[in-house]
Structure 1
Amino acid sequence: MSFPPLHIVEPNGAHMHTIILLHGRSSNGVEFAKDLFDSKSSETKNLAAHFPGCRWVFPTSRDLWSSVFKEELTAWFDVYSLSDPSEQQELQLDGLRESTRYILDVLGREINLLGGKSEKVVLGGISQGMATALWALLCSRGRVDGRIGAFLGMCGWLPLADKMEDLQLSEGHGTAETPGSLVSKSLPGLLRCEEIEVSVAETKAMLSTPMLLLHGTDDAWVDFELGRQARRNLTKLGLKVEWKEYTGAENEGHWIKEPEGIDAIVAFLEAYLL
């Protein structure tokens, strides 16, 4: 079954950059775009107004059977528990693998539209969308020539983080002698992705992607500690992660705090896109 059409907000002027953002569970690209652009910075401007040369791409997931809610809903993958994503995590693999492949296809097409300049494309998402986008980033080496411009994650987590931590311990990852070894040799096996030849340079390029992660300490849907766990594991892989935490966001903390969170996103994107 194919994925639904992309929701695209075209730039107000020349196309200079593209930002691909994935929605959370039970949402869709159109709804996420509306909610995101309703959020304002301290200048009372939304993100589209801050970046008029940006093309915004909002993919929508397929409908998947939820093992918890016992019904089909829009989801990038099935997940049994958000309080403990490691519980029955075999349920996550098929959907996560298929969604990752799809997002990598979207990423490749958007890079081609910008003349192959991967550094002009940003990838990210919120909640389960962030979780999926993270794995798309980790699997992008060998599929993206160079590195993408940046990664933006909000109120999410890193799937298979416990298995990643086990690998880090067993392989002694993080020493000066083994830069990027875990990414190169072991991560594809966790997701059971097809193996492709990847050079050290390609791995280093992916690991140089600037990242901004935001998470509310009062998030009632995705535990704040899961966001911290994601930051910890990504940092151990060798990624440079900028971290912002806050309290008092809408949707029981499961959103971007206004205006502080939007200001942080604007400053981050300006640093790496302009």
Structure 2
Amino acid sequence: MSQWFDTWDIANLHQKEELQIEGLKESVASIRLLVNREVASLGGQREKVVLAGLSQGGATAVHTVLNVAKGLGGLMVFSGRMPFSGRTLAKMRSILDLAEVPEDDNAVRTTPVLVQHCTNDPLSRVQNGREVRNSLSSFDAQVEWREYPTDAAAWLRARVFNEN
């Protein structure tokens, strides 16, 4: 099933993980170009650029931050996941094999991160969000973690539409 990139089985996201590479690489490359244009339009003020993503968009945003040279104003991931978790930063970068990837971890360490996940989300298990948190923390990212005891749809209805 394709959104930002292909996956084989949402119940086991590590199964046939290699199918994610091509689409994730293309998506991250596109987002990096967009980030560079935004930074240029802001006179180089990277701290004013924040990436945010839901589900696969969150995974794409995370991999974008892993593959930029300098930190951003922030990264927000809701109901996200971490393709290729359990690997070093260098290995994650080598999987996508993008051009102009930094050798240091400056962007990862200096970009503040907020990761949020609902504990009862039927499509994106809370463990997926915990993997995002744990992976980024292992790279010395500044991660704030929040879990909500509901599912994503109920959480959004309550906050966006003020429904109980």
Residue 186 of structure 1 aligns to a residue whose secondary structure is helix
Contact 2:108 2:140 in 1 (8 A): no
- Which of residues 143, 155, 172 in structure 1 aligns to 2:79? 155
1:230 shift after superposition: 1.4
User: Does 2:126 align with 1:198?
Assistant: no
Deviations 1:223-274 (A, max 9, x none): 11111111111101110110111123453x6x547349xxxxxxxxxxxxxx
Q: Superposition RMSD on alpha carbons, in Å?
A: 2.2
- Which of residues 116, 123, 133 in structure 2 aligns to 1:231? 133
User: Does 2:68 align with 1:136?
Assistant: no
Larger Rg belongs to: 1
Alpha carbons of 1:205 and 1:134: their partners in 2 closer, same or farther (altered >3 Å)? closer
Deviations 1:101-158 (A, max 9, x none): 00001111111111110001101200010011110110012xxxx4210111000101
1:160 shift after superposition: 0.8
Mapped partners of 2:34, 2:77: distance in 1: 18
Consecutive unaligned residues of structure 1, counting only runs of 5 or more, are 1-65, 67-72, 165-181, 261-274
- Give 1:189's aligned residue: 94
Deviations 1:58-115 (A, max 9, x none): xxxxxxxx3xxxxxx6x11000112211101111000000000000011111111111
Mapped partners of 1:158, 1:84: distance in 2: 12
- Which of residues 198, 205, 211 in structure 1 aligns to 2:113? 211
Consecutive unaligned residues of structure 2, counting only runs of 5 or more, are none
- Give 1:97's aligned residue: 25
TM-score (norm 1): 0.54
TM-score (norm 2): 0.88
Percent identity, aligned pairs only, is 31
